[in-house]
A and B are shown apart, each in its own frame.
Chain A
Amino acid sequence: MSMPASNRRNLLWLQSGGCGGCTMSLLGAEGPDFLTAFEAAGINVLWHPALSRETGHEAMAIIDDILAGRIVLDILCLEGSVMMGPNGSGKFHMMAGSGKPMKDMIDALAQQAKHVVGVGSCAAFGGITMAGGNPGEACGLGYEGRTKGGLLGDDYIDQSGLPVVNIPGCPVHPDWVTETLSQLALGLMAPDHLDGYGRPHAISGTLVHHGCARNEFYEYKASAEKLCQIGCMMENLGCKGTQAAGDCNKRSWNGSGSCISGGYPCIACTEPGFEEPGHSFVETPKIAGIPVGLPTDMPKAWFIALASLSKAATPPRLRKNATADRIRVYPQRPKKGKNT
């Protein structure tokens, strides 16, 4: 059953200072694919840079119609950072065919839009494009790193009372996009569905740590020392799963994946400022042997006490497996031929 035309909501998707990877991730949506999810929510894509037939003058005509109020814009999605540089001029991204800085086009379209969505950590916070001293003067729609503001300013609120809705991640999980946009299109998103960074609680209410397949190693502080070892990666390899937003280990990626199941640490790509951790991404900074980044909501003294206790109690199986590349010691089972 498709939505009656009057209930359809118009969506415009723009890309600026990013890699296009959030769209690529979205194309991998399953159960159902993203076009079906959009259809179910009555989302009508006015134009998308990777997907629409319209190009050049045809695309500009759609944008002109929105700016002139001839087409209602329900949802504006931006993928990629806003490029403010050099020196605030926006010349690092002049929108092709328009002769105008993309930042100004985004701003003008945001003023017309009923809701504004930052798709991915670049559009939300600035993201990877802000790394290394931020040569492009990149920022997000509503944030510059952890600081409120960004392109649209710190007081931006849409007509329904929502701030910029931020779907974090580098890239986003496709379901985060389809579910958030569906709620918005159906008028079901309220301010209290969002956290302090404008991220839906549906995404950020869960930590990457939840559902981590290495949890038993975490519990006993049985740590991997190098990549391609199956122990917990928090102590030595920079894993931020205990602090980072996301249900990455409860809702798998591309079938059965997650960063941790792929054997590498969570780099907290859903968090503002992830691009500049202040240390190598695959190394845990420590003070007096204690990791600097503690699990979310965990008092330091308790963490130290519990960690030393659990280290002392680590079963040999976990201690051995933690630094192996696969399970070398299996859980104890009854000997062959014996009944339990």
Chain B
Amino acid sequence: MSRLVVGPFNRVEGDLEVRLEVVADRVKTAHVVSPLYRGFEEMLKGKDPRDGLVISPRICGICSISQSIAAAEALGAAQGLVPVPNGQLVSNIVHAVENIADHLTHFYMFFMPDFTRDIYRDQPWFADITTRFAAMTGSAVQDMLPARAEFIHIVGLLAGKWPHTLALQPGGVTRVVSPSEIQRLLAILTAFRRFLQRHVFGCEPEAFSAIKSVAALDAWADKQPATSGDLRRFLQVSRSLDLDRLGRATDRFLGFGAYRHPNGHLFARGLADISGPLQLNTGLITEDISSAWMQGNGQPLHPFEGETTPDADMADGYTWCKAPRLEGQVAEVGALARQVVTGNPLALDMVAQHGGNVAARIVARFIEVALLVPSIEGWLRDISPPDPFMQHADMPDQGQGAGLVEAARGALGHWIRIKDGKIANYQIIAPTTWNFSPRDHTGQAGPLEIALQGAPVRAGETDPVSVQHIVRSFDPCMVCTVH
């Protein structure tokens, strides 16, 4: 048996250490360490509840809008306030822009550069992939960065800037949108569609989101050469490395629901495993601190009752990350979980074949990109410029509320309790808190820790490349994880 410590594990948004025990060329056990604690939950105590809208988005610079929406929903729940229809549409639009931008950042800048490693020198695709995806110097990033930047102009116009806007409020948004601006925004989407068509899909997003099975995906991939688009490039790599057999966790998928409409969410709220949908009761979410450098009475607590009391000297701890559990069990969150929960046929077929895995997590992000671009266009057309974009209500002296949303990388929850007009408790469970959680009091490992078990390790590898693919397939955000 040998032990490996991989860190600083980069291209994950924040700092990460992964400790591995390797036996007979396989990872036997993994411990995931979130090494940074900042203390947002402590900071928020005693503040004016409205200040949560300034402070909590700054937990994360990559899913800042998701944090804003979670904070606004939690406050709104305490106030009995929801966004007016125009406000909800603008919120959906900027949220979708952030999530698409994050999916692109993940794929182009965080995930794909690992296939340019020398270890793959003998692969037939190596030269093309290296030219395209070399970190910072590849041709792909030169295509992606300007397209991504122009796409985020949508947030600049609607919400002032990205990241860290204050435009998203419990009752709507702080800025109206004029008919002329709607036309400008639609034109930005036309340009973005051209980028997707030219570089990502090689077809219109609608043609990709129409794919309903793994067989159809394979047929789609074979229809054109791999060099005709970056998603086909990935599918070629994935096939040659069997990435669909890598990184399976427990196949229990959780989604809080994203992009509200009058009858629910575009991507549903729910829980599912490979046998189908399960009942979700968010009242049964708890956080366990057995392996975290945290003090407490040892009982896992629902976030409304949650405590965050750091103690760097806890002997049993190995991470700052608490262990969120749903009915005592781990759950995987992210684009794949969202699409499984919402019943996307391709996502369901992918997990039916090999469970949650590296390839399926990547493909699921592109399912979302393809679905969301037309959705944004629809939301823009649904805006009714003459109507209000925000309504107001007083902040209660006492109350509580939860804001449950989906960041690009999965389910995000804010739970606020207000007492005497101030924040009495504020607890946050971020997506990567779920995925990268440590062992709980029963010894149950977190989803990534499970997904890494059995990962192949080649002779002489100090930072096993299979481990890198698995870790990055979750699109982790370590700054969110502990916050």
Hey, what's the 0/1 contact readout for A92-107 against B, CB within 8 Å counting as 1? Answer: 1111111000100000
**Closest partner residue, chain A, to B117 (CB atom):** A53
Check B174–A19 contact: CB distance below 8 A: no
Q: From the candidates B16, B39, B42, B157, name the one contacting A256 in the complex (CB within 8 A).
A: B157
B47 CB–A CB distance under 8 Å = yes
Check B176–A280 contact: CB distance below 8 A: no
- Residue numbers in A under 8 Å from B173 (CB-CB): 228, 263
Check A27–B11 contact: CB distance below 8 A: no
Check A92–B312 contact: CB distance below 8 A: yes
- Residue numbers in B under 8 Å from A226 (CB-CB): 392
- Residue numbers in B under 8 Å from A337 (CB-CB): none
A21 to B157, CA, bound (A): 19
Check B43–A135 contact: CB distance below 8 A: yes
Check A18/B50 contact, CB under 8 A, given A35-B141, A92-B38: no
Expressed in whole angstroms, the minimum distance between the Cβ of B199 and any Cβ of chain A is: 15
- Residue numbers in A under 8 Å from B159 (CB-CB): 257, 262
Interface-forming stretch among A110-118, A150-158, A247-255, A310-318?
A247-255
Hey, what's the 0/1 contact readout for A256-270 against B, CB within 8 Å counting as 1? Answer: 111111111101010
Check A33–B163 contact: CB distance below 8 A: no
Check B160–A260 contact: CB distance below 8 A: yes
A57 to B10, CA, bound (A): 11
Check A20–B61 contact: CB distance below 8 A: yes
A29 CB–B CB distance under 8 Å = yes
Check A136–B37 contact: CB distance below 8 A: yes
A45 to B134, CA, bound (A): 14
Check B175–A21 contact: CB distance below 8 A: no
Check B161–A259 contact: CB distance below 8 A: yes
Hey, what's the 0/1 contact readout for B6-23 against A, CB within 8 Å counting as 1? Answer: 111111011111000000
Hey, what's the 0/1 contact readout for A19-55 against B, CB within 8 Å counting as 1? Answer: 1111111011110011100000000010011111111
In this complex, which of B42, B159, B164 has the most chain A Cβ atoms within 10 angstroms of its Cβ? B164
- Residue numbers in A under 8 Å from B152 (CB-CB): 28, 254-255
Hey, what's the 0/1 contact readout for A43-82 against B, CB within 8 Å counting as 1? Answer: 0010011111111111110000000000000000000010
Interface-forming stretch among B119-127, B142-150, B223-231, B263-271?
B142-150
Check A257–B51 contact: CB distance below 8 A: no
Expressed in whole angstroms, the minimum distance between the Cβ of B242 and any Cβ of chain A is: 22
Hey, what's the 0/1 contact readout for A317-340 against B, CB within 8 Å counting as 1? Answer: 000000001100000000000000
Expressed in whole angstroms, the minimum distance between the Cβ of B260 and any Cβ of chain A is: 19
B468 CB–A CB distance under 8 Å = yes
Hey, what's the 0/1 contact readout for A121-138 against B, CB within 8 Å counting as 1? Answer: 000000011011101101
A189 CB–B CB distance under 8 Å = no
B29 CB–A CB distance under 8 Å = no
- Residue numbers in A under 8 Å from B164 (CB-CB): 21, 170-171, 269
Expressed in whole angstroms, the minimum distance between the Cβ of A198 and any Cβ of chain B is: 22
Hey, what's the 0/1 contact readout for B386-402 against A, CB within 8 Å counting as 1? Answer: 00111010000000000
A161 CB–B CB distance under 8 Å = no
Check A57–B463 contact: CB distance below 8 A: yes
8 Å CB interface, B36-84 against A: 36-39, 42-48, 50-51, 54-55, 58-62, 64
B109 CB–A CB distance under 8 Å = yes
Give the dominant DSSP class at A's interface. loop
B221 CB–A CB distance under 8 Å = no
A52 to B178, CA, bound (A): 41
Check A19/B161 contact, CB under 8 A, given A226-B392, A280-B48: no
B5 CB–A CB distance under 8 Å = yes
A195 to B482, CA, bound (A): 35
Check A53–B134 contact: CB distance below 8 A: yes
A89 CB–B CB distance under 8 Å = yes
A194 to B160, CA, bound (A): 28
Check A96–B15 contact: CB distance below 8 A: yes
Expressed in whole angstroms, the minimum distance between the Cβ of B76 and any Cβ of chain A is: 14
Expressed in whole angstroms, the minimum distance between the Cβ of B142 and any Cβ of chain A is: 7
- Residue numbers in A under 8 Å from B169 (CB-CB): 227-228
A158 to B110, CA, bound (A): 33
- Residue numbers in A under 8 Å from B329 (CB-CB): none
**Closest partner residue, chain B, to A95 (CB atom):** B8
**Closest partner residue, chain A, to B308 (CB atom):** A135
B375 CB–A CB distance under 8 Å = no
A15 CB–B CB distance under 8 Å = yes
B219 CB–A CB distance under 8 Å = no
A256 to B7, CA, bound (A): 39
A158 to B19, CA, bound (A): 37
Q: Count contacts on A: residues with CB < 8 A to the other chain.
A: 81
A106 to B110, CA, bound (A): 24
8 Å CB interface, A168-217 against B: 170-171
Q: From the candidates A89, A227, A260, name the one contacting B312 in the complex (CB within 8 A).
A: A89
**Closest partner residue, chain A, to B102 (CB atom):** A24
Check A35/B136 contact, CB under 8 A, given A21-B60, A135-B42: yes
Check B64–A19 contact: CB distance below 8 A: yes
Check B58–A54 contact: CB distance below 8 A: no
- Residue numbers in B under 8 Å from A91 (CB-CB): 312
Check B59–A19 contact: CB distance below 8 A: yes
- Residue numbers in B under 8 Å from A24 (CB-CB): 61-62, 105, 162-163
A53 to B136, CA, bound (A): 9
Check A94–B463 contact: CB distance below 8 A: no
Q: From the candidates A22, A98, A259, name the one contacting B166 in the complex (CB within 8 A).
A: A259
Check B389–A50 contact: CB distance below 8 A: no
B335 CB–A CB distance under 8 Å = no
Expressed in whole angstroms, the minimum distance between the Cβ of B330 and any Cβ of chain A is: 23
**Closest partner residue, chain A, to B480 (CB atom):** A19
Check B390–A228 contact: CB distance below 8 A: yes
B135 CB–A CB distance under 8 Å = yes
Check B109–A51 contact: CB distance below 8 A: yes
B276 CB–A CB distance under 8 Å = no
**Closest partner residue, chain B, to A24 (CB atom):** B61
B153 CB–A CB distance under 8 Å = yes
Q: From the candidates B44, B48, B160, name the one contacting A264 in the complex (CB within 8 A).
A: B160
- Residue numbers in B under 8 Å from A35 (CB-CB): 136, 141-142, 145
Listed by A's residue number, 7 A-B pairs whose Cβ atoms lie within 8 Å are A21-B163, A30-B150, A51-B135, A53-B117, A56-B7, A257-B161, A282-B166
Sample of 8 more A-B contacts, CB < 8 Å, known A49-B11, A132-B47, A253-B160? A17-B38, A20-B62, A30-B146, A30-B150, A96-B17, A227-B169, A254-B157, A267-B54
- The 8 A-B pairs with the shortest beta carbon distances in the complex, nearest first, are A21-B61, A262-B160, A254-B156, A97-B7, A96-B7, A132-B43, A255-B153, A263-B174
